[in-house]
Chains A and B, each alone.
Chain A
């Protein structure tokens, strides 16, 4: 298995632009998570899905952020409009049913820089 695949690896954009981050979970995994990592705030859970349905989006910082999972093999995290304070590394992770016995598998992350 290729693991959790995220794209792009790096993204530099100007303030006000729309940014879309993509994630392909491990095949057969029922859970998908989006985390954001910054020096100041550490790892923050933004949203997670179970069987493509958003379960908890309480960590999404504001309305500029949205996430979708149109099918079991693809998810997006969109920021519109982007701001410099959104600069961070965004990780996607997935886990199978019965995830508690295994934890998550993380993708390589997308490093977002908003200038």
Chain B
């Protein structure tokens, strides 16, 4: 059975600090996606990682993918309050036929 596991599931941090969210998955895949969800809102696409070693950066967030280790990381640099949200990773398990399986989500709370 495919598992997509994120850790931590909850993260409370101070503004200005750095931290990393981890996404492990249990099957072969070379595509991984990160989404952000604000409370009561929809999911917004953050990053699309399409190959081993892929690295994408947007502002204070940087995502990377290691397909051999079946691991993706989302690194937060100098966190600000506006980054408070729930972050999901999702893995394409179907060889580009459209099926994404989501992790449990990591709820990030950035305190002033």
Contact = CB atoms under 8 A, between A and B. Distances in A.
Interface of A: 31, 33, 35, 42-43, 45, 48, 50, 55-56, 91, 93, 95, 99-109
Given A100-B31, A101-B50, A106 B98 contact: no
B81 interface: no
Contacts of B101: 45
Interface of B: 31, 33, 35, 41-45, 48, 50, 88, 90, 92, 96-105
Contact of A31 (B90, B98, B102, B103): B98
17 contacts: A33-B98, A33-B100, A42-B102, A42-B103, A48-B98, A48-B99, A93-B43, A100-B96, A101-B48, A101-B50, A103-B35, A103-B90, A106-B42, A106-B43, A106-B44, A108-B41, A109-B42
Contacts of A31: 98
Contacts of A33: 98, 100
Contacts of A55: 97-98
Contact of B98 (A42, A50, A91): A50
Nearest to A44: B102
A83 B45 CA distance: 32
